[in-house]
Amino acid sequence: MNSLEGWVRQKALLDNRKGSALIAALLLVAVSGIMGATILFATSMELQISGNYRRAVQTFYAAEAGLAETQRRLSGSPVSNPVFLGDVVSPHQPHWSAYVFSQAGWIPADDHTYNALLTNYVPLSANATNTIALPNSVQSDVAYWTKVHHKTEYDAEQAGHRLATPHYLDGDGVTTLHSTSSRGQLIRFGYPLPTSVKPEQFTTTLQSLYPAVEMITSHGQVEGADSILQADVKHPAGPPVWAPMYAGNEVVLSGSMITVQGMDACGLFPSGLPPISLSPSASLVGTAGLTGNPATPQVSPISLDLDEQIKDLKKGAAPVVADL
């Protein structure tokens, strides 16, 4: 009896140990399953995040490419730039706008700022005033579309321009707010006054030497993602026009037929300018017939770096290859 009881007890103990091992194994399987599901979920989330990051980077670079193309196509003129995109009407149209498309399929609803009152040109090589949405980019490998329009007082007001916080020199005298249908004057970049030393943004009701600031919005698109870049771009203003002739050093006038006229026949400076502007270190030797307002040479506020100014102007200049 004793030996049988011992066997029964031993058997019972063995069975209990096997049951504990089974429970531990089941718990291990459950924990492993939870860990596997967590790892799978984390991996899926990481893949989704990395995919979103990749698309964000690609769309950003695509938008940058659109911005670069549009900016380059605004430089120069139809003569110097074979893919020129800018406003060819003089004076510039306040409601001018244009699009660049690298892919087909664009519709006006894709542009949440679309305004039917603007010209909305899609310039083609054979038709600068085309308005049908067709691919007109210089390339088709990168997907983007851009919109460019002249900056107006309305645009500046949307960005926060007010009397107390001016974004430009308001030279037209109108201080009331504008709207999409009444956009106000073009905002130009240049020298608003005959005595201006530095170029700045300004408005005027008079004719101006200086073109409008351009506003570019570029959309880069990849796999349904969209990145948007906006930029204000300006045309080189060149040196300030203080007089028809500027002298940085000594100027010698010799002969009896020299005439320098400061009165403007084009209407851009109706009150006239001095005939000659001399840098603070320049001097004038000799005599000439001088007209202007006043009709005598004047000392300029500062010395101009004409070499640097010419470099900027050459970027959009048309080379002269024949006699004029």
- Among the listed residues 130, 123, 91, the one whose alpha carbon sits nearest the alpha carbon of residue 212: 91
Answer whether residue 17 shows pLDDT above 60: no
Answer whether residue 114 shows pLDDT above 80: yes
- H/E stretch holding 151: none
Answer whether residue 183 shows pLDDT above 50: yes
Amino acid at 131: T
Answer whether residue 316 shows pLDDT above 70: no
Cα–Cα–Cα angle for 61, 222, 158, nearest 5°?
65
Residue-level pLDDT at 32: 62
Report which of residues 54 and 177 the model is more confident about. 177
Residue-level pLDDT at 160: 94
* For residues 42-69, average pLDDT: 80
User: By three-state DSSP, how is residue 305 classified?
Assistant: coil
User: By three-state DSSP, how is residue 50 classified?
Assistant: helix
Residue-level pLDDT at 35: 59
DSSP per residue, 200-260: EEE--SS--SSPBPEEEEEEEEETTEEEEEEEEE-----S--SSSEEESSEEE--SS--EE
* For residues 11-16, average pLDDT: 50
pTM score, whole prediction: 0.77
Q: How far apart are CA 187 and CA 172, in angstroms?
A: 11
pLDDT bracket for residue 133 (50, 70, 90): very high
Q: Alpha helices of the chain — where are they, by DSSP H?
A: 2-73, 153-158, 306-314
Q: How far apart are CA 74 and CA 316, in angstroms?
A: 9
In residues, how long is the chain?
A: 324
Answer whether residue 189 shows pLDDT above 90: yes
Report which of residues 254 and 282 the model is more confident about. 282
Residue-level pLDDT at 53: 79
* 294 upstream amide cis, omega within 30 of 0: yes
Report which of residues 136 and 175 the model is more confident about. 136
Task: Kindly report which listed range (134-148, 171-185, 257-271) carries the lowest average pLDDT score.
Answer: 257-271
Residue-level pLDDT at 115: 94
Query: Which tens digit of pLDDT belongs to each residue from 226-259?
Result: 899 999 999 888 888 888 888 888 888 887 788 8
Backbone φ/ψ region at 217: left (φ over 0), alpha (ψ -120 to 50), beta: beta
pLDDT bracket for residue 195 (50, 70, 90): confident
Task: Kindly report which listed range (53-57, 190-194, 206-210, 313-317) carries the lowest average pLDDT score.
Answer: 313-317
Answer whether residue 156 shows pLDDT above 70: yes
Residue-level pLDDT at 76: 82
Contacts of residues 270-275 at CB distance under 8 Å and 24 or more positions apart, as own/partner, are 270/206, 273/194, 273/241, 273/242, 273/243, 273/244, 274/242, 274/243, 274/298, 275/243, 275/244, 275/245
Answer whether residue 6 shows pLDDT above 50: no
Q: How far apart are CA 17 and CA 6, in angstroms?
A: 17
Residue-level pLDDT at 9: 47
Query: 119 with 98: CB under 8 angstroms?
Result: yes
Answer whether residue 23 shows pLDDT above 80: no
Cα–Cα–Cα angle for 241, 244, 245, nearest 5°?
100
Task: Kindly report which listed range (55-64, 160-169, 194-203, 261-270) carries the lowest average pLDDT score.
Answer: 261-270
Give me the chain's average pLDDT, please. 84
Cβ-count burial of 219 within 10 angstroms (0-12 exposed, 13-18 middle, 19+ buried)? buried
* For residues 295-303, average pLDDT: 89
The set of residues, in sequence order, having a beta carbon less than 8 Å from that of 161 and lying 6+ positions away, is 153, 167, 168
